Amino acid sequence: MKNIEYFKPTTIDQALRVKQEMGREACYIAGGTDVLVLAREKKLDCRALISLRRIPELAGISLQDDVLHLGPATTLTDILENGEVARELPILHDAVQVMGSTQMRNMATVGGNVMTAASSGDTLGPLLCLDAVCRLVSPGGERRVPMDEMFVGPRTTAAEPDELLAGLEIPLPAAGGAISSGAFFKLTRRAAMDLALINVAVQLWVNPDRATIAKARLAAGVAAPTPVRLKQTEEELVGAPVAEATKEQVAIRAIGRECRLRDSDRCSAWYREEMLRVLIPRAAALALERMGIAV
Amino acid sequence: MKRMIEFELNGQQVTAEVDGGDLLLSVLRDQFDLYGVKESCGAGECGACTVIIDGRAVTSCLYPAMEAEGRSVTTIEGLAQPDGTLHPIQESFIEKGAVQCGFCTPGNVLSAKALLDKNPDPSEQEIRTAIAGNLCRCTGYHQIVEAISHAAGRKS
């Protein structure tokens, strides 16, 4: 890339103004680990880059009234090292831990993962399971979009071209004394620097009896053109004995009804299905184990 | 659109004229002759272009040069003393046979330095995690892990 203008706004308003003036000729860049790879492959057509790295309101993690506010420009390293995320959101901690390499985690951001919206994005299943909400801002104002409505197609989000992801809000699963935990698994050919062949995220809430499920969230990546929640299965698990979530039969039914697996260069649909059958129950079992419930 | 930026490079304040599309990798090599910064995959996957920015290892092939403004950048050339005395990590790499063809070495040494500066007594797993983004086709990694572990012991 040559003759590129590079803007380094320090407020969201400045960033929006530059974007408004330049329109489609300007692209936002946060960590750059997706944008610059696209640019190198000449798949990015822009005359200007608007950096999101120096906007304090976009970065950082804070907890307010049982809601974790996650700045989209927070790096994966900062999420990985955050004690509240490790304690309250193990499902997200698990995912960040197995993303890229140390160098990638030092640059890549969670907001970048959301806005790239690849089906393989490892934070997306966890964010779906956590019922995260995206705050999208534009010169016209702000709107809140549930994560579940964000992924409208392959690498496509519900955000309009003039909208910027300004915040991620995650209600703490254990708020109000609820009993909840989650887990994430990713299948790769090598341990680091690999995209998921499939990934699985499960967050479970159990009733005070610790024997039945109060609420369930299941999501899978590279199981369809977008990250998907397995909603039918989530509903069927409500009220069921906790062990139900760990049954292979439940996973098999979920895959058949709610996934659209396909062959790709990297992996066959058959293998993806076989591994989902293993990893969905395994993630559910680990989530329960983290609540001190043995199955 | 070229612009002058100022940053700290291996302990010295420097200025460079960079375009918004320039990557830090090419600026370090072409303007400052720092050829220890290697380009290999160009997509952040191999770690040969690793540098340390404000204490954290990053791949300079995916780092816009403009973002270096006001930050502190360390390349392999910044590790040895001015009189040529090698950094303890470099000494350990030599001693433990962790250098073979040498292409990945600057990146591995810098990933090790970023790790040890933050965590002076890492476990083997922590060492392996720290260098997971640095591909080596020669050593099989064992000697590199050993060298980093040895350097940690030497420093503490």
CA of A37: which chain B residue's CA is closest? B43
Say yes or no: A103 contacts chain B, CB-CB below 8 A: yes
Q: Return d(Cα A201, Cα A282) in angstroms, integer.
A: 10
Task: Answer yes or no: do B133 and A29 touch at CB < 8 A.
Answer: no
Enter the CATH code of domain A5-51: 3.30.43
Q: Show which of B78, B104, B135 is a domain's final residue.
A: B78
Residue A240, min C-alpha distance to chain B (Å): 39
CA of B60: which chain A residue's CA is closest? A103
Q: Show which of B78, B113, B136 is a domain's final residue.
A: B78
Task: Answer yes or no: do A4 and B21 touch at CB < 8 A.
Answer: yes
Helical ranges in B24-155 per DSSP H: 24-32, 88-95, 105-118, 124-130, 142-155
Type and span of the H or E element at B72:
strand B72-74
Q: pLDDT at position A42, please?
A: 87
CA of B58: which chain A residue's CA is closest? A103
- Phi, then psi, of A13 in degrees rounded to 5: -60, -45
Say yes or no: A51 contacts chain B, CB-CB below 8 A: yes
Of B19, B20, B57, which is closest to A103 when you measure between CB atoms? B57
Residue B143 burial (10 A CB sphere; 0-12, 13-18, 19+)? buried
What are the residue ranges spanned by the domains of chain A? 5-51, 60-171, 175-290
- B62 and B30 within one domain: yes
Q: pLDDT at position B156, please?
A: 42
- B36 and B72 within one domain: yes
Print pLDDT tens along chain A (295 aa). Answer: 889 999 999 999 999 999 999 999 999 999 999 999 998 888 888 999 999 999 999 999 999 999 999 999 999 999 999 999 999 999 999 999 999 999 999 999 999 999 999 999 999 999 999 999 999 999 999 999 999 999 999 999 999 999 999 999 999 999 999 999 999 999 999 888 899 999 999 999 999 999 999 999 999 999 999 999 999 999 999 999 999 999 999 999 999 999 999 999 999 999 999 999 999 999 999 999 999 999 8
CA of A102: which chain B residue's CA is closest? B130
- Count up the domains in chain B and report the number: 2
Say yes or no: A25 contacts chain B, CB-CB below 8 A: no
DSSP string over chain A: --S-EEE--SSHHHHHHHHHHHGGGEEEESS-TTHHHHHHTT----SEEEE-TT-GGGS-EEEETTEEEE-TT-BHHHHHT-HHHHHH-HHHHHHHHTSS-HHHHHH-BHHHHHHH--TT-TTHHHHHHTT-EEEEEETTEEEEEEGGGTEEETTEES--TT-EEEEEEEE-TTGGG-EEEEEEEEE-SSSSS---SEEEEEEEEE-TTSSBEEEEEEEEESSSSS-EE-HHHHHHHTTSBGGGGG-HHHHHHHHHHH------SS--HHHHHHHHHHHHHHHHHHHHHHTT---
- B124 and B62 within one domain: no
Residue A23, min C-alpha distance to chain B (Å): 17
Print pLDDT tens along chain B (156 aa). Answer: 899 999 999 999 999 999 999 999 999 999 999 999 999 999 999 999 999 999 999 999 999 999 999 999 999 999 999 999 999 999 999 999 999 999 999 999 999 999 999 999 999 999 999 999 999 999 999 999 999 999 998 754
Give yes or no on whether A5-51 and A175-290 have one common fold: no
Say yes or no: B47 contacts chain A, CB-CB below 8 A: yes
Q: Return d(Cα B98, Cα B90) in angstroms, integer.
A: 9
- B29 and B71 within one domain: yes
- B105 and B70 within one domain: no
Residue B73 lies in a domain: yes
- B140 and B98 within one domain: yes
Residue A60, min C-alpha distance to chain B (Å): 17
Q: Return d(Cα A118, Cα A112) in angstroms, integer.
A: 10
DSSP conformation class of B23: B
What CATH number matches the domain at A60-171, 3.10.110.10, 1.20.1250.20, 3.60.15.10, 3.30.465.10? Answer: 3.30.465.10
Let me know if domain A175-290 sits in CATH 3.30.390.50. yes
Q: Return d(Cα B140, Cα A115) in angstroms, integer.
A: 37
Angle, helix B142-155 to helix B88-95, in steps of 10 degrees: 140
Say yes or no: B14 contacts chain A, CB-CB below 8 A: no
Domain boundaries, position B147: 88-155
Residue B12 lies in a domain: yes
DSSP conformation class of B64: B
Q: Return d(Cα A71, Cα B118) in angstroms, integer.
A: 24
Task: Answer yes or no: do A193 and B45 touch at CB < 8 A.
Answer: yes
Query: Using a CB-CB distance cutoff of 8 angstroms, which residues of chain B are in contact with residue A40?
Result: 42-43
Residue B83 lies in a domain: no
The residue behind tokens 């890229």 is: A100
CA of A41: which chain B residue's CA is closest? B43
Residue A235 burial (10 A CB sphere; 0-12, 13-18, 19+)? exposed
Query: Using a CB-CB distance cutoff of 8 angstroms, which residues of chain B are in contact with residue A195?
Result: none
CA of B107: which chain A residue's CA is closest? A103
- Residue A34 CA to chain centroid, in angstroms? 15
- B137 and B100 within one domain: yes
Of A37, A53, A103, which is closest to B50 when you measure between CB atoms? A103
| CATH code of the domain in which B33 resides | 3.10.20.30
Q: Which two tokens stand for residue A187?
A: 């299948």
- Best probe of the A interface among B5, B51, B67, by most A CBs < 10 A, is B67
| CATH code of the domain in which B135 resides | 1.10.150.120
Residue B83, min C-alpha distance to chain A (Å): 30
* Cα–Cα nearest to A220, from A236, A233, A237: A233
| Amino acid, single-letter form, for residue A47 | R
Q: Which two tokens stand for residue A258?
A: 């709610």
Tally of CB atoms within 10 A around B57:
29
Tell me the three state secondary structure of residue B73: strand
Q: pLDDT at position A156, please?
A: 97
Residue B4, min C-alpha distance to chain A (Å): 12
Q: Which two tokens stand for residue B139?
A: 């050593």
Q: Which two tokens stand for residue B121?
A: 């007594």
Of B3, B64, B130, which is closest to A102 when you measure between CB atoms? B130
Q: Return d(Cα A218, Cα A203) in angstroms, integer.
A: 7
Q: Which two tokens stand for residue A207?
A: 């009733």
Task: Answer yes or no: do A32 and B64 touch at CB < 8 A.
Answer: yes
Q: Return d(Cα B39, Cα B144) in angstroms, integer.
A: 20
- B112 and B93 within one domain: yes
Q: Show which of B25, B49, B78 is a domain's final residue.
A: B78
Of A4, A37, A103, which is closest to B19 when you measure between CB atoms? A4
Query: Using a CB-CB distance cutoff of 8 angstroms, which residues of chain B are in contact with residue A5?
Result: 1, 20
Residue A198, min C-alpha distance to chain B (Å): 20
